[in-house]
Amino acid sequence: MKDRILLILCLCGLILAVVVLIASRGKLNRLQVEQEVIKSQLLTHTSDLTDREKLNRLKAEQEAIKDQILTHTIQLAELKGIVAGLGGRGSKPAGLEGVLVAAADGVIGKWNATGPYKTPRFRAGSRWTVNWLCAPTEPTSFKLAVIDAETNEAVEAITNTEPGRRGRLLMYQAGEFYLDISSEGSEWTVSAVDRIK
């Protein structure tokens, strides 16, 4: 009986996640159309500052919606794993810790752990981001390095010592990479995402 109730709750959560994902995608599409209109207006009115402000606002909203889509996509994958685990197939619910997520909606991968970790190698285009979040615990050291998989040299790195911080690295280099994460006991989440033009 408990399994059926849990299955029904998971299915409801899955349906809700799908609805939110569809709504987020619709809003993203509307913002992209609006952004293109403003870009064309900028070409004819290069000195009009208010259009540039609108374009910057739209770009910020678009990035926020892309982050929401990433979050909802990962939540959807987690819910699918839970439902699969309850479906009588004998499998355990699928987690996302240290697992490369399939490249859907630009998601290259998402990893979550405590302590040091090196991600599997992955390919990225010429415009991609690395998003990171440290758990809100006591101050600790969190270091993240983007490593070129061919040379094993860092192409970008950050260090954070404040709890509950998040950030984004904008990458403009295509190739094969892995992430080297160093953390002293705090939980962290890192994702790599291809940026859609």
What is the SS3 assignment for the chain? CHHHHHHHHHHHHHHHHHHHHHHHHHHHHHHHHHHHHHHHHHHHCCCCHHHHHHHHHHHHHHHHHHHHHHHHHHHHHHHHHHHHHHCCCCCCCCCCCCCCCCCCCCEEEEEEEECCEECCCEEECCCEEEEEEECCCCCCCEEEEEEECCCCEEEEEEEECCCCCEEEEEECCCEEEEEEEEECCCEEEEEEEECCC
Single pTM value for the model: 0.48
What pLDDT sits at residue 96?
36
User: pLDDT tens-digit profile of 112-159?
Assistant: 888 889 999 999 998 999 998 887 666 567 899 999 999 999 999 988
Average pLDDT, integer, range 93-103 = 38
User: pLDDT tens-digit profile of 5-50?
Assistant: 877 887 888 888 777 778 777 777 787 888 887 877 776 665 556 6
Q: Residue 196 pLDDT more than 70? A: no
